Amino acid sequence: VIEKDGLRVGIFAFTRYLNALNNLRDPRQPHVPMAPYSDDPLSRGYSEAQLLEKVRAAAKECDALVVTHHWGDEYRPLPRPDDQQLAWRLIEAGAIAVVGHHPHVLEPLQTVVRPVGSEALIAYSLGNLVSNQDMSKPERPKRDGLLMKFAIERVADGGTELRDIEPVPVWTENVF
């Protein structure tokens, strides 16, 4: 939670993948919250219900909660249906923005209406910020990326709203 000018903004991160690793074998060791896909029987972590409860708890600790996650299928330009459903549930649980990464390609952005009536942002995948990944295959659109700019402002009823949502395009040029 970061506080500035009386506004408390929380950042909650989790992953759905650990590239075949499982970091919860010893919970005393550093780890990232993991909520694996239901079709991944080898990974352990939080169930979706447990993840959403943690998001609800985090949202109560701040004025606005941004959820960022490592999810999706690599190189696929559309989000998985289960990620689309989870994104909506994260908004319902209290997130003001849901920002994803992992597929290495851009996926859709959308604004939705939160249960409190204000706008929320879902960015399924921001693509690559800086990458020299797979330079031998220029046909794959992995050089595109986005930064997301937005303001979070307190409104008259004491709640918060997103303002000035702006995607900022990023292009990686590899010169060797």
pLDDT tens, N- to C-terminus, the chain (176 residues): 999 999 999 999 998 887 655 555 666 666 677 788 888 766 677 889 999 999 999 999 999 999 999 999 988 999 999 999 999 999 999 999 999 998 888 999 999 999 999 999 999 999 887 766 666 666 555 778 899 999 999 998 889 999 999 999 988 776 65
Element (H, E) at 76: none
Three-state DSSP at 61 gives coil
In the sheet with 2-4, reading across from the earlier edge strand, the strands are 2-4, 7-15, 64-70, 95-101, 119-123, 109-113
What is residue 143's predicted lDDT score, i.e. its pLDDT? Answer: 74
Rounded to 10°, the helix 48-60/81-92 angle is 30
What is residue 25's predicted lDDT score, i.e. its pLDDT? Answer: 61
